[in-house]
Amino acid sequence: MDIKAAETQLRDKLAREVRRLEAIEQRLRSTHSPSFGEQAIEREGDEVDERMEETIIHEIDMIKAALERIEAGNYESCSSCGEQINEARLEALPYTTLCISCARKRSGKILGSP
């Protein structure tokens, strides 16, 4: 796997997500309309923005963790079993920490499957 390309991809995605987060935070800080009807609609939009903000912050944290793993030299290693994460999985989900086998086991536990 081309780790340098993965790092570039992660840094680009991080920059995009930071810009998205800044735009959402700016909208959330903006003043609301003096009209009560419009305020209700704006507040609903704020709720959507707040949920998006949480999701973006989580994604930023995952990207930063992946960049730290690259720097530490263990980017391609599963954090659970230590085996190498399949290259196709890392390309599809560049900030994953688990190999497919461990991810399946974990999702089974989360979903209550055996």
Integer angstrom CA distances of residue 43 from 22, 53, 103: 18, 15, 37
Q: What is the mean pLDDT of the chain?
A: 87
pLDDT of 112: 46
Domain of 11, CATH number, reads 1.20.120.910
- Measure CA 57 to chain center: 7
Neighbours of 24 (CB within 10 A): 19
26-74 per-position pLDDT tens digit:
988 777 666 766 666 666 677 888 999 999 999 999 999 999 999 999 9
SS3 (DSSP) at 82: coil
pLDDT of 43: 67
| Full-model pTM | 0.78
Q: How confident is the model at residue 9 (pLDDT cuts 50, 70, 90)?
A: very high
Q: Which residue has the tokens 């990207």?
A: 63
Domain extent for 103: 3-111
Overall size of the chain counted in residues: 114
What is the Cβ-side half-sphere exposure of residue 78, based on CA atoms within 13 angstroms? 18
Closest CA to 97 of 108, 112, 84, 114: 84
* Number of domains, the chain: 1
CA dihedral 76, 78, 82, 84 (to 10 degrees): -40
